[in-house]
Amino acid sequence: MADKYLDGKEFMKVINEAVTDLRLVLLFGTEEFYIDNCIKALKRSYLAPGSEDMDLNVIPQDSKAGFEDLEGYIQMPPWMSRKRVVICRSQALYSSEFGDREESVLKSIPESCLVVFAPEKAEKNRKITKFIAKNGVAAEINLFPEEELIKIIRDSLGRNKITIDHDVAASLVSRCESKMRQISSEIEKMRLYCAGSGKDSITFDDLENMCPPDLNASIFTITDCFGTGKCDSALKTLNSLLLRKEPIQRLRATLITHLKRLVIAKDTGDKGKLASELKCSPYYAANLIKQSSRFTIDRLIDLLDKAVKSESDVRHGIMDERTSLETLIVRASFK
């Protein structure tokens, strides 16, 4: 596996093939739910039923444990399972100095042990990352492409004989910001809804009634009106969000974040680089670049400055939340 970074599907294939010499793993990326599922799959594969208390060690994210502690776990033989599994989520341990001593600890992992590093953040240029990629298995698991998530949604509901159109599934992906944890939760909600109502299909109206609002799409709609003179459409979208009890503070924060992302998109101009920098889906990055192309960089910076000033006006009591946001939208809509 020298210096190769697997994706989520490739890593799951490694698990399913039950590679007996798997001893050292690094899991990182933006798709936390899938990473958690990979860890669960590893435990199912290597731990005997009911053996977690005996054969599983977890070093939590906020732990200050060092490589000496990790070495102690590594040297303990499994009691009931074919391998002792050590899950290291500690950011401090992953980010600590990695020299000859630390390298020797990882080199000493016996066949009877599996060490899994799963820090919140990982960097490919760190020595420990390069070491694991060369001597073990490293998987970078980021948000899945939109079309892949749509297929997952339709296939998952299809197993319960529930249909959902492509565009409806795409809306669900957007509402959940391409995050599988949220998508999984919404799919389960839909299953229960259909079981209780006797329905066998999910429509846009069903999404509106049971799922989070498509905030990203709404912010795109509002921003599309900027510079066109069409403030009526933007204000209508804002009012619709407020009627659905969307907190106005969240709307303002999301709009400011969106404008910041448009500035970055204008500067970057490449959806792959943008998706990596923002840790978002390539589909979302492509939409940002497309929308940013309508504006000059100076215009985007001016819009962002207006949004930040509008937020300041609210904090200093010059305007109330709603009036301030509506005023910002009207001013931004002028050509």
Query: Does 246 score more than 60 pLDDT?
Result: yes
Average pLDDT over residues 203-224: 86
Amino acid 333: pLDDT: 85
pTM of the model: 0.74
Locus of tokens 């009526």: 232
Query: Does 2 score more than 60 pLDDT?
Result: no
Query: Does 314 score more than 60 pLDDT?
Result: yes
- Which listed CATH number (1.20.272.10, 1.10.340.30, 3.40.50.300, 3.30.70.260) goes with 215-333? 1.20.272.10
Nearest to 262 by CA among 214, 322, 326, 332: 332
> Is 3.40.50.300 the CATH classification of the domain at 5-140?
yes
3-state secondary structure of 9: helix
Query: Does 114 score more than 50 pLDDT?
Result: yes
Query: Does 62 score more than 70 pLDDT?
Result: yes
| Burial group, residue 254, by CB count within 10 angstroms (0-12, 13-18, 19+) | middle
**Residues 129-171: tens digit of each pLDDT:** 999 999 999 999 998 988 899 999 999 999 999 999 998 998 8
Amino acid 68: pLDDT: 95
119 — pLDDT class (breaks 50, 70, 90): very high
Q: What percent of the chain is predicted at pLDDT more than 90?
A: 64
Q: Could you please state the CATH topology (level 3) that the domain comprising 146-210 is classified under.
A: Helicase, Ruva Protein; domain 3 (1.10.8)
Q: What percent of the chain is predicted at pLDDT more than 70?
A: 98
Query: Does 18 score more than 80 pLDDT?
Result: no
Amino acid 20: pLDDT: 56
CB count in 10 Å sphere of residue 243: 8
Average pLDDT over residues 20-30: 89
38 — pLDDT class (breaks 50, 70, 90): very high
Q: Find the range with the poorest average confidence among 165-174, 189-198, 280-289.
A: 280-289
Average pLDDT over residues 212-223: 85
Average pLDDT over residues 76-100: 95
77 vs 319, more confident: 77
Longest dimension (CA), the chain: 72
19 — pLDDT class (breaks 50, 70, 90): low
Amino acid 335: pLDDT: 63
Nearest to 79 by CA among 108, 48, 55: 55
CA distance 238 to 157: 32
Average pLDDT over residues 54-60: 96
Amino acid 214: pLDDT: 79
Query: Does 308 score more than 70 pLDDT?
Result: yes
> Which residues, listed in sequence order, are joined to residue 84 by a DSSP beta bridge?
113
Cβ atoms of 191 and 148 closer than 8 Å: no
CA distance 176 to 179: 6
Q: How many Cα atoms sit within 13 Å of 66 on the Cβ side?
A: 7
**Residues 175-188: tens digit of each pLDDT:** 888 899 999 999 99
Query: Does 288 score more than 80 pLDDT?
Result: yes
CA distance 217 to 329: 16
Locus of tokens 């069903």: 206
Start and end residues for every CATH 3.40.50.300 domain found in the chain: 5-140
Amino acid 1: pLDDT: 46
